[in-house]
């Protein structure tokens, strides 16, 4: 009897841990951490940085990203409950109380910023704090439910990680780090609009004014193509600025050229298959782009 009770308690504990991990949006966190680490690797002085401090900076960035994700889930719990894509999250299912989620997010956010500031530098900490505030307050609370340009403006929050990584090494915000920011900034709209094309009914149910809901699929697809066309030359700038070399530039040209191709396919496809494929490729694209930059730099 005692053994059975212990097993039940262990399973409940494991379930609670999984729920709190889910609050951190681990898949989104992985992209944030990866791009932030890339910003560190390509920054001047990275090779002289102590490995322990590198690990601390990455950990602080991960915790900060998780805190922002938890705060987003806390605020969006009402619309998450009516969207098929998000209905299984811990808050809509009642696995975690809203007050618990908010406290969890606030504690992690303060912990991440203070850790980055005390252990690394306050420039990186300030950028981390601003990115979190931008994502939670500007995007989640203000823009997301009010304007079809929500992801264009709000997407800036997700573009900060390489700037934070760069600042963690150099203690500065430079033109090079702004270019890294711009790459993710212009990547974000076509990435999310590809998702919103095949999740259109979800956004309609939740009354979220994503571009396909407000302007229609055709105009959204044209905008996606425009952003990928802007992104292509932008991804070539790191070579000209000395951040990376020709190996990266070749990879960036191929990857970005194919990203444009996927946008053209979406524009010509009356169905949703091409949008799904573009969304999947867009995630691979950003990982591959920053990986090529790091490999070239190393």
95-116, pLDDT tens digit by residue? 999 999 999 999 999 999 999 9
Q: Does the pLDDT of residue 85 top 90, yes or no?
A: no
For 259-271, write each residue's pLDDT tens digit. Answer: 999 999 999 999 8
Interatomic CA distance for residues 38 and 20, integer angstroms: 27
Question: At 199, phi and psi to the nearest 5?
Answer: -110, 25
| Per-residue pLDDT band at 91 (split at 50, 70, 90) | very high
Average pLDDT value for residue range 7-26: 79
Structure tokens at 126: 């300030």
| Cα-based angle 159, 42, 285 (whole degrees, multiple of 5) | 50
User: Contact, 253 vs 168, CB < 8 A?
Assistant: no
Interatomic CA distance for residues 160 and 126, integer angstroms: 11
Q: Does the pLDDT of residue 16 top 70, yes or no?
A: yes
- Please state, for a pLDDT cut of 70, what percent of the chain lies above it: 96
Q: Does the pLDDT of residue 124 top 60, yes or no?
A: yes
- For the chain, the C-alpha Rg in angstroms (whole number) is 20
């Amino acid at each position: 009897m005692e053994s059975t009770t212990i097993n039940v308690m262990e399973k409940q504990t494991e379930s609670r841990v999984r729920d709190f991990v889910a609050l951190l949006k681990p898949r989104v966190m992985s992209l944030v951490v990866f791009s932030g680490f890339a910003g560190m690797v390509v920054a001047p002085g990275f090779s002289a940085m102590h490995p322990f401090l590198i690990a601390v900076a990455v950990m602080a960035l991960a915790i900060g990203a998780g805190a922002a994700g938890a705060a987003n889930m806390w605020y969006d719990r009402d619309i998450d409950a009516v969207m098929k894509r998000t209905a299984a999250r811990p808050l809509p299912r009642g696995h975690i109380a809203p007050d618990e989620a908010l406290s969890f997010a606030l504690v992690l956010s303060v912990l991440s910023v203070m850790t980055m500031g005390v252990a690394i530098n306050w420039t990186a900490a300030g950028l981390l704090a601003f990115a979190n505030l931008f994502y939670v307050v500007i995007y989640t609370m203000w823009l997301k439910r009010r304007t079809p340009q929500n992801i264009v403006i709000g997407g800036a929050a997700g573009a900060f990680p390489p700037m934070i990584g760069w600042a963690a090494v150099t203690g500065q915000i430079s033109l090079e780090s702004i270019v890294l920011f711009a790459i993710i900034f212009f990547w974000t709209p076509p990435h999310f609009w590809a998702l919103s094309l095949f999740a259109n009914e979800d956004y309609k149910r939740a009354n979220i004014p994503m571009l396909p809901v407000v302007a229609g699929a055709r105009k959204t697809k044209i905008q996606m193509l425009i952003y990928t066309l802007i992104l292509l030359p932008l991804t070539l700038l790191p070579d000209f600025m000395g951040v990376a070399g020709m190996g990266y530039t070749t990879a960036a040209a191929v990857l970005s050229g194919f990203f444009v191709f996927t946008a053209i396919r979406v524009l010509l496809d009356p169905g949703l298959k091409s949008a799904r494929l573009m969304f999947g490729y867009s995630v691979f694209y950003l990982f591959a782009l920053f990986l090529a930059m790091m490999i070239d730099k190393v």
